[in-house]
């Protein structure tokens, strides 16, 4: 199996890793990892507006320059809850521009969706993802065939007219985050759990919500991402 060429996050030099190590490899050596952790970046305090230094791993987690500003921020959390500053682009945006995250204090990702989308595109081009996909086409095709076979075996026949009616019922919006974007067919009871491909088991969903729900049950999904949180 050939090794995959990657770019070091710290020094930018090319280095090689096995395909199984691509997803968790970002540095060519331990010295680059240590240098990355030592580097300091400037952030803007959301309370007083002054600049302060922190390590890169704190980007998106730390928003204040001191404990005094942190206490003030917590006291004013109800005022600041409608907007949030993205540390990548530096813009203050409404919170619905930040994807939900179940383990952060404000239940939102640290960076906005636009910056995360750009970061993911850059990651796919430099991490060997395209190389892996091109070298595993048969595996991906087999997975797609298995999914279609399971969907037919579970029963149900959703016609194009039924799908148009379902979208119209939901106002051409995602059934989970209520955003008016390009919609996909999402199965409330997943196909892998025995759900049918029929009008009473299909709702319109955006690509993000459809990916997040995956094969989770509806109760588990809503416990992590409540309705209306996009």
Q: How far is CA 180 from CA 13, 115, 215, 223, 224, in A?
A: 42, 21, 23, 23, 21
Q: What's the pTM? A: 0.45
CA distance 88 to 120: 13
Q: What is the pLDDT along the chain (230 residues), one digit of tens a residue?
A: 678 888 887 788 888 887 777 777 878 888 887 777 776 777 888 888 888 877 776 776 777 888 888 777 766 655 446 788 888 888 888 887 887 776 777 778 888 888 988 888 888 777 777 777 788 888 888 888 888 888 888 888 888 888 899 999 988 888 988 888 788 889 999 988 888 888 889 999 988 888 888 888 888 888 888 877 65
**If you classify domain 155-224 with CATH, what class do you get?**
mainly alpha
- For the stretch 179-195, what's the b/e string if a residue is b when 16 or more beta carbons lie within 10 angstroms of its beta carbon? eebebbebbebbbeeeb
Length of the chain: 230
């Amino acid at each position: 199996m050939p090794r995959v060429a990657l770019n070091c996050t710290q020094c930018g030099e090319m280095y090689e890793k096995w395909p199984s190590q691509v997803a968790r490899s970002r540095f060519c050596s331990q010295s680059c990892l240590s240098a990355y952790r030592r580097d300091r970046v400037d952030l803007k305090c959301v309370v007083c507006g002054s600049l302060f230094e922190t390590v890169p791993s704190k980007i998106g987690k730390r928003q204040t320059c001191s404990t005094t500003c942190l206490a003030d921020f917590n006291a004013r959390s109800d005022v600041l809850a409608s907007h949030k500053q993205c540390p990548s682009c530096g813009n203050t945006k409404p919170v619905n521009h930040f994807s939900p995250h179940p383990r952060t204090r404000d239940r939102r990702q640290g960076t906005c969706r636009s910056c995360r989308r750009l970061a993911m595109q850059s990651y796919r081009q430099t991490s060997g993802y395209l190389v892996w996909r091109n070298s595993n086409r048969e595996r991906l095709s087999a997975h797609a065939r298995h999914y279609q076979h399971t969907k037919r075996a579970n029963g149900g026949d959703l016609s194009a007219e039924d799908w148009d009616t379902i979208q119209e019922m939901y106002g051409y919006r995602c059934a989970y985050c209520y955003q008016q974007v390009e919609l996909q067919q999402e199965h409330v009871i997943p196909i892998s759990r025995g759900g049918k491909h029929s009008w009473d088991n299909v709702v319109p969903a955006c690509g993000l919500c459809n990916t997040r729900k995956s094969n989770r049950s509806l109760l588990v999904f809503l416990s992590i991402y409540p309705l209306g949180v996009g």
